Amino acid sequence: MYNHEPADYECSLCDIIAGNDNEDPWTKQSDVVYRDDDTIVWINTKWWGEIEGNVVVVPIRHVENIFDMPDDLAGKIHGVARRVAAAMMETYGCTGISTRQHNGPDGNQDVWHYHLHVFPRYARDDLYGRPTRLASVEERAPYAERLRSWLA
């Protein structure tokens, strides 16, 4: 009822978790800023307007959505998101943080692997009113380095 992943689904997030790069211009191993036994974090390829360097926090285990998420793993994901948020505040100089997560086609889920977005926020940045764009590997690199250094 709550699942929409096709039977033959090839998960691009699982590819990153396995140590592979996605096809250009998508996620590369160089985008990864943190990994532990349960979670992995990388700079998101999709940026909203002028808000740069947002990340996704992803469970290592393939979980399609919030309805399949075990409580203990949800807590671990949000704990990592809190650390990443602190790293953004200190290294990006942002003045706020937003998180969001999508479930199901009508909830704008476009990858059938749970992931929590963490956005640096600034005064009057109009996150939700801005179009998206794909950031290049070169654009993502300095943000990845800042967060990786802080989280180490």
* Residue pLDDT, tens place only, 15-55: 999 999 999 999 999 999 999 999 999 999 999 988 999 99
Residue 149's pLDDT is what? 98
pTM reported for the whole predicted model? 0.96
pLDDT of residue 112: 98
Residues in Cβ contact with 133 at an 8 Å cutoff, skipping those fewer than 6 apart: 46, 47
CA-CA distance, 4 to 82, in Å (whole number)?
A: 29
Mean of the pLDDT values across residues 127-152?
Answer: 96
**Is the confidence at residue 67, as pLDDT, over 90?**
yes
Domains of the chain, each with CATH number or no CATH: 12-151 (3.30.428.10)
Region of 151 please: left (phi>0), alpha (psi -120 to 50) or beta.
Answer: alpha
Is pLDDT at 128 greater than 90 in this prediction? Answer: no
Report whether pLDDT(141) > 80: yes
Confidence band for 1, pLDDT divided at 50, 70 and 90: confident
